[in-house]
Structure 1
């Protein structure tokens, strides 16, 4: 499979269905502001949960820095409290720091609120660099 086909399959091919939060955009915003009043957050839809294929050494390095080998790629930003992305932009997160329950994916800097349905996929670390 050539590189373009591999990226296209990653972004648009089938994955394992995964549920995020079943909230409206306004309900999600209110919930985040109540539960995490001092945290930057980003509401996203049409997202991919990416389990990274890493070596034991890479896994250990992530663990030492309080991160896990998981990223989220979202096709649709709904709202970004820090105004880094506009509505409709795509976003690729940094590695997972804390999972606060279904649909609440936190990196070191941002809480990503996964709204609606998404997909889970396993991906090589090298491939992640191709979707930035």
Structure 2
């Protein structure tokens, strides 16, 4: 197996690995309620509603870790395997998405990044992932 195929195999394995149950997310019947909350927080931010999601805690070492500490950025992203709706139209229903870094987590289901609210629907999981691998999916 070549270096490239080993790297690709590792990436595929890491991206598809299951995490631990994470008690967050809302029920589909609550989506409209939480869209209202998103709008009350910042009506200028777009909302992307997703399901089949996984919270990734980025495993960051050395200088990068220090940089995150200084900037106050969180070391978390969401990878969702199914986009329900994206207000801006960047993603089609059924697409997958990986967010940018977490800015704030609201109401146990609203993952806010610099530009978007991601509304987490249904059950999800959480796990640690190498930051370089997570970044390879952008």
Q: TM-score range by the shorter chain?
A: 0.7 to 0.9
Q: Which residue of 2 is the match for residue 31 of structure 1?
A: 33
Which runs of structure 2 are paired with 1:3-42 in the superposition (5 Å)?
A: 3-24=7-28, 27-28=30-31, 30-37=32-39, 38=43, 39-42=45-48
Deviations 1:25-64 (A, max 9, x none): x531x12332122031111111111111113532343344
Which one of 60, 64, 67 corresponds to residue 58 of structure 1? 64
Q: Which stretches in structure 1 are left out of the alignment for 5+ residues?
A: none
> Cα RMSD between the aligned structures?
2.0
**Equivalent pairs, count:** 130
Residue 67 of structure 1 aligns to a residue whose secondary structure is coil
Give the distance between the partners of 1:40 and 1:62, measured in 2 at CA: 25
Q: Which stretches in structure 2 are left out of the alignment for 5+ residues?
A: none
Residue 50 of structure 2 aligns to a residue whose secondary structure is strand
Residue 79 of structure 2 aligns to a residue whose secondary structure is strand
**Normalised TM-score (structure 2):** 0.82
Q: Which residue of 1 is the match for residue 89 of structure 2?
A: 83
Which one of 122, 126, 129 corresponds to residue 128 of structure 2? 122
Give the distance between the partners of 1:93 and 1:41, measured in 2 at CA: 12
**Normalised TM-score (structure 1):** 0.86
